Amino acid sequence: MKLITEYISHKLSYSIEEAKGGKKNTFLEGVFMQAENQNKNGRIYTREVLTPAVDKFVNEQVITGRAVGELNHPEGPSINLDKVSHRITELKWDGNNVMGKALILDTPMGQIVKGLVEGGVQLGVSSRGMGSLSMKDGVNYVKDDFLLNTIDIVQDPSAPNAFVNGIMEGVSYEEDRPGHYIATIEKGETEVKEPIKEGYSEEQQSAGFEHFLSKL
């Protein structure tokens, strides 16, 4: 399956709610995903595809308090706990829109989000998932194998979209344990050979990335 991200251009709202003990929590709310609408990446998620993916994410991640997301997209589907900025507390349908609510956490990345919000920076959200595509009448439809990994907070929608639509075209992912994925480079229709392993130094990652680009 491919890594698929979708930026939502709808403006988000921010609210502060007082919790027990006088602590104030910052929330981000708005449209988190959309169905039956061709997005900026030229893709369409039908309700039949998106509904079970959202339901699974809510039941397994949101309700259990594990639905965390990052500030900006990482280069893969796995959640990096050191980059977590928020926890998604609610996802519900309103027509073809998936309305969401996220609590900004007191993590280093969460503090950055709070600082940006207080400074008047308009942030957005972008879904991160795994799936495959099928072409119909010149439009890419996300197929029913779609799996929603999380929803990240992003500032520049062009960067992640360009990354997914271009460079990541030749990469597929396999889940080797719950919530953790291994990327493999594809060449034509054959699988490769060399997994992209997480945990390398920046120099190793750079060398591996250049090697990856040479295979495209």
Q: Give tens-digit pLDDT for 160-190.
A: 333 333 234 446 766 666 666 666 655 443 3
Angle made by CA atoms 204, 192, 183, in degrees to the nearest 5 = 55
Q: Does one domain contain both 190 and 143?
A: no
- Say if residues 155 and 124 touch (Cβ distance below 8 Å): yes
- Residue 196: its pLDDT value, please? 43
The one catalytic residue among 73, 85, 86, 172: 73
Residue 182's domain comprises 166-216
Identify each DSSP E strand in 57-132 by its residue range.
Answer: 68-70, 84-94, 97-104, 124-131
Q: What is the pLDDT of residue 216?
A: 44
Same domain, 194 and 122: no
Q: Which segments in the chain show pLDDT lower than 50?
A: 158-170, 187-200, 209, 212, 215-216
- How many structural domains is the chain composed of? 2
Q: Is the pTM of this model over 0.85?
A: no
Q: What is the pLDDT of residue 92?
A: 97
Q: Is 126 a catalytic residue?
A: yes
Q: What does the alpha-carbon distance between residue 139 and residue 133 come to, in Å, rounded to a whole number? A: 10
Active-site residue 211, yes or no?
A: no
In a domain, residue 36? The reply is yes
Strands 43-44 and 139-142, by their bridges, are parallel
Q: Residues 97, 11: one domain?
A: yes
Specify the pLDDT at position 207: 53
Identify whether residues 152 and 171 lie together within a single domain.
Answer: no
Which ranges in the chain belong to alpha helices (H)? 47-57, 108-118, 158-165, 202-214
Whether 140 and 187 map to the same domain: the answer is no
State the catalytic residue, choosing from 78, 85, 86, 126.
Answer: 126
Shared domain check, 186 and 102:
no
Same domain, 133 and 214: no
Give the pLDDT score at 210.
54
Contact 8, 164 (CB under 8 A): no
Strand partners, 177: 180
Is residue 132 domain-shared with residue 175, that is, in the same domain? no
* 83 in the same domain as 49: yes
| Structure confidence at residue 128 (pLDDT) | 92
Task: Answer for the pair 134, 5: CB distance below 8 angstroms, yes or no.
Answer: no
pLDDT value of residue 193: 39
What is the torsion angle, in degrees rounded to the nearest 10, for the CA atoms of residue 46, residue 49, residue 51 and residue 53? -140
Read off the amino acid at residue 27. Answer: F
- Asked if 46 and 134 sit in the same domain, the reply is yes
pLDDT at 167: 30
Give yes or no: residues 85 and 142 share one domain: yes
Q: What is the DSSP letter of 35?
A: S
Q: Please state, in angstroms and rounded to a whole number, the distance separating the CA atoms of residues 38 and 44.
A: 5
